[in-house]
């Protein structure tokens, strides 16, 4: 398969690939159908393809000592959004986060074709939207690339260098029922007091910080209470977005210390990560975006991605890149501009061509 994705046939193939990927539901833990489709499609496009031991869809092209790995994710958050196209806009769950970037990876490698001395590996990872990042953790030990690109929406002319970290806190409290006129606080009141303590800690931490990438951001993910007339129970989950300067050990000690008889457990810890920008990978992106008529810019994100898992483990030049507006992530209006999607394929193809010529 040769040519520019703006060519009618190649553009149509790229749009068909993304549309079919979006039509296949793939919430975290249920990516099998999409993985099978991607393995078959990558094989048709000339890549050596397989499902690995973690369930990732993997495609490879070329041979050689230079290794470039592109990791997108197949899974989505829950929520069915009817797939439809209106003009140049495609709606559907996963169009932006992150089937658009993954489809762009597949098409860019297929359109470029083999390059001397270079092996391209495209990974459609499982469970990125879960706290497990199972797919990324598997490939972290399987490969040691020279360059890595993580598939997340940045906009076709933006390059993401960093993501905040994450910590999930599960709080639960059960106690005997007491009269509401008594002095003791009810279980729900204890839980609210704990949440307020977390917020106060974050407010103090953030007092002298500038920009969202530097702040500690708590969110109340869920809260449920129940009673059987003898005991009352409350459970809640708090999410924390961690900036680079946070002392995770001190934060953990405080989260446990504020429990006041409740059970507090923590999970899903990912350290914040920020990559460097003075390297051949970033230079290739800057040049390729300029060649496509854009003015490139570097950004950081307040969420997390598989970059948090792979960046520190691989230690190679790494960025996150992909088409789409991340404001649509996880929303009921998730959509992608297909013109931007096709342009991102052109940018990625230019990046891979430049890196394989070094």
- Give the rounded distance of the alpha carbon of 147 from its chain centre: 18
Phi–psi pair at 279, nearest 5 degrees: -160, 165
Strands (E), 182-293: 217-227, 231-242, 263-270, 273-274
The active-site residue out of 10, 31, 128, 232 is: 128
Annotated catalytic residue 10 = no
Regarding beta strands 147-151 and 118-125, do their DSSP bridges make them parallel or antiparallel, or are they unpaired?
Answer: unpaired
Annotated catalytic residue 52 = no
Q: What is the CA radius of gyration of the chain?
A: 22
Residue 1 CA to residue 41 CA, distance in Å, equals 13
At 324 the three-state DSSP class reads coil
Residue 110 CA to residue 349 CA, distance in Å, equals 9
The active-site residue out of 10, 31, 60, 75 is: 75
CB-based burial label for 309 (10 Å; 0-12, 13-18, 19+): buried
The residues annotated as belonging to the active site are: 75, 128
């Amino acid at each position: 398969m040769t040519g520019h994705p703006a060519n009618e046939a190649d553009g149509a193939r790229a749009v068909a690939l993304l549309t079919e990927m979006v039509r296949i539901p793939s919430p975290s833990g249920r990516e099998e159908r999409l993985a099978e489709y991607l393995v078959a499609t990558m094989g048709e496009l000339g890549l050596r393809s397989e499902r690995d031991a973690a369930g990732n869809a993997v495609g490879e092209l070329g041979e050689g000592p230079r290794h470039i790995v592109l990791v997108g994710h197949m899974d989505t958050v829950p929520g069915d959004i009817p797939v439809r196209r209106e003009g140049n806009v495609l709606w559907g769950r996963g169009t932006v986060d992150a089937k658009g970037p993954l489809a762009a990876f597949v098409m860019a490698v297929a359109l470029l074709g083999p390059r001397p001395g270079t092996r391209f590996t495209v990974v459609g990872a499982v469970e990125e939207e879960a706290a497990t990042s199972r797919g990324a953790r598997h490939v972290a030990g399987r490969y040691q690339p020279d360059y890595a690109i993580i598939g997340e929406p940045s906009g076709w002319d933006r390059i993401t260098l960093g993501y905040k970290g994450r910590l999930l806190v599960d709080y639960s409290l059960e106690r005997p029922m007491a009269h509401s006129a008594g002095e003791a606080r009810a279980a729900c009141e204890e839980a609210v007091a704990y949440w307020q303590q977390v917020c106060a800690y974050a407010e103090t931490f953030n007092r002298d910080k500038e920009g969202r990438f530097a702040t500690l951001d708590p969110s109340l993910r869920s809260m449920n209470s129940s009673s059987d007339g003898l005991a009352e129970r409350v459970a809640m989950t708090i999410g924390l977005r961690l900036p680079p300067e946070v002392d995770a050990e001190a934060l953990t000690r405080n989260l446990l210390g504020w429990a006041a008889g409740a059970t507090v457990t923590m999970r899903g810890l990912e350290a914040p990560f920020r990559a460097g920008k003075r390297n051949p990978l970033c230079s290739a992106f800057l040049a390729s975006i300029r060649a496509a008529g854009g003015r490139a810019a570097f950004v950081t994100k307040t969420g997390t991605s598989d970059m948090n898992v792979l960046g520190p483990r691989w230690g190679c030049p790494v960025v996150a890149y992909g088409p789409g507006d991340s404001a649509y992530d996880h929303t009921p209006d998730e959509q992608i501009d297909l013109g931007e999607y096709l342009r991102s394929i052109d940018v990625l193809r230019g990046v891979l061509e430049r890196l394989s010529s070094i």
